[in-house]
Structure 1
Amino acid sequence: MRTWESYTLADLPVVAKEMIESLQGAPRVWLFRGQMGAGKTTLSKELLLQLGVGQNVQSPTFSLVNEYQTKTGEIIYHFDLYRLKNIQEALAIGIEEYLDSGNYCLIEWPEQAEELWDFPHVNVEIEAINEVQRKLTLSC
């Protein structure tokens, strides 16, 4: 487990880089948990940039999943499951194929499909301390 006790938006590039380094060899499915507005999407976007995605990163709120390619050709999937009503909707978009791909899967709002996470993954807990500071905890 690794924790960043207090970071701000200005610290985010360093935090994301340290997070990636500390998760070398860890599972590639990362579940982002936290209240609305805690910074899940902001952290996800910075992680995508740090992982080498060169294109404009958008929130997958309406598409449920966005696919990105890094400068080295690796594919990364970014999910936002907030709008799902049940696990059947996750299965309908083929989420199991994405999860089994071996590629990074950054998943916001995993609570919407909790039954799926019965395999090794990384939990990324984000907590808003105040308007500008966040606490980040990683666990596998």
Structure 2
Amino acid sequence: MSATVYTHSASETISLGKKIGRLLKGGDIIAFKGGMGMGKTTITHGIAMGMGLRDDVSSPTFALVNEYSGDGALTLYHFDMYRISGADELESIGFYDYLSDDCAAVIEWSENIADELPPDAIVIQIEKTGENDRKITISGGDRFDGIGN
């Protein structure tokens, strides 16, 4: 199943992220697809807010992973796989150690590790359709059906 939502501003993209964040469960992995400047970090900001996390969200480009946590909320791990290209590199950065049922993960540049993603990953494809306009397609479970309403 998949849902497609069109957003027309960063605030609308954050609002969509909040809706996604409220639906996440422990063990969920979100695999983002979309080029530079598509809004992956912006939607992640909304996801963190929807999960009840109040940390500032920033792109983990140089750190590879940022951790966001809060009282009573799932921990969110935010990965950037732009420079990663396979299982050996994932192992060396400890990627698999982060994944558990008491956290959720979002992965930017998931295309670079597509063969290592679990089959039940939630895939979010972001396409730019205008200066501030995005087409966002969410695949991976019926709980996201109707999310744009």
TM, length-normalised to structure 2: 0.81
Shift of 1:73: 4.4
**Paired-residue identity, %:** 32
- Contact 2:81–2:110 (8 Å) recurs in 1: yes
Structure 2: any 5+ residue segments left out of the alignment? 141-149
Q: Which amino acid aligns with 1:17?
A: K
Q: CA deviation at 1:101?
A: 4.4
The 2-side partners of 1:13 and 1:116 are apart by: 28
Aligned to 2:145: none
Deviation at 1:97, TM superposition (A): 2.0
- C-alpha change, 1:25 and 1:132, in structure 2 (3 Å) is same
Q: Distance in 2 between matches of 1:73 and 1:4?
A: 26
Q: Deviations over 1:31-62 (max 9, x none)?
A: 01111111111111221122122122221110
Q: Distance in 2 between matches of 1:99 and 1:89?
A: 16
Matched letter for residue 8 of structure 2: Y
Moved more, 41-50 or 83-92: 83-92
How far 1:20 moved relative to its partner? 3.4
Please tell me whether residue 65 in structure 1 is matched to residue 32 in structure 2.
Answer: no
Corresponding residue of 2:14: 13
Is the contact made by 1:123 and 1:138 (CA closer than 8 Å) also made in structure 2? yes
Secondary structure of the structure 2 residue equivalent to 1:59: coil
Provide closer, same or farther for how the CA distance between residues 139 and 30 of structure 1 changes in structure 2, counting only shifts above 3 A.
same
How many residues end up aligned between the 2 structures?
139
User: 2: distance between equivalents of 1:52 and 1:27?
Assistant: 17
Q: Do the aligned residues in 1 keep the contact of 2:41 with 2:57 (CA within 8 Å)?
A: no
Deviation at 1:30, TM superposition (A): 0.4
Unmatched tracts of structure 1, length 5 or more: none
Match of 2:34 in 1: 34
Q: TM-score, normalised by structure 1?
A: 0.86
How large is the Cα RMSD of the aligned pairs? 2.1
Alignment match, 1:132: 132
